[in-house]
Structure 1
Amino acid sequence: MNDTLASAPHQASRPETPVRPAEVSRRHLTTLRSIIATWRERTRFRWELKQMSKDNPHLIDDIGLTRQQVEEEIAKLPFWQR
């Protein structure tokens, strides 16, 4: 048996502790905020990449991307931002 699995605590071995609905909602809200922040960060990166490819295409090589990779990333922008 793997030692790391044997030493890990399991939910079944813990006594049941009630979780209040407010705590669950707070965790879900925190997760949702994190997901939205990640989406915004990716959108901002793709928008900046689009601007860079128009204004300074020579910088694309400097950051280590190919033209095809840039086009693929730009294609992931929402249609109203393309």
Structure 2
Amino acid sequence: MKDTRILASYTDCTRMAGPHGILAIWRERIRVRWKLAQMAQENPHLLKDIGLTTQQVEAEIAKPFWRR
């Protein structure tokens, strides 16, 4: 079942971005999640400013790069 969801996610992204654009999307997700993790560690008070809870940030950081 997981393989089906991964394939569906890939297919959706490919439709939106083209076959080469998927790599750019994945790199951007990695970068954004890394920056979010860095912010949560260095300036946790800023999470409230952007409207996120610690639990939301932890859930987002835990996602693999191919997941939205």
- Which range, TM-score by smaller chain? 0.5 to 0.7
Work out whether residues 47 and 77 of structure 1, in 8 Å CA contact, stay in contact via their aligned partners in 2: no
Residue identity matched to 2:40: S
1:20 aligned partner: none
Report the secondary structure of 1:51's partner residue. helix
User: 1 or 2, which has the higher helix percentage?
Assistant: 2
For CA contacts below 8 A with separation 6 or more, give which structure has more relative contact order. Answer: 2
Alignment of 1:2-81 (within 5 A): 31-77=18-64
Structure exhibiting the larger radius of gyration computed from Cα positions: 1
C-alpha contact (below 8 Å) 1:47/1:74 kept by paired residues: yes
Compute the RMSD of aligned alpha carbons.
Answer: 1.6
Deviation at 1:77, TM superposition (A): 4.6
Q: Which runs of 4+ in 1 moved over 2 A?
A: none
Q: Tell me how far 1:31 sits from its aligned partner.
A: 1.4
* Gaps in structure 2 of 5+ consecutive residues: 1-16
Q: Does the aligned pair in 2 maintain the 1:46–1:77 contact within 8 Å?
A: no
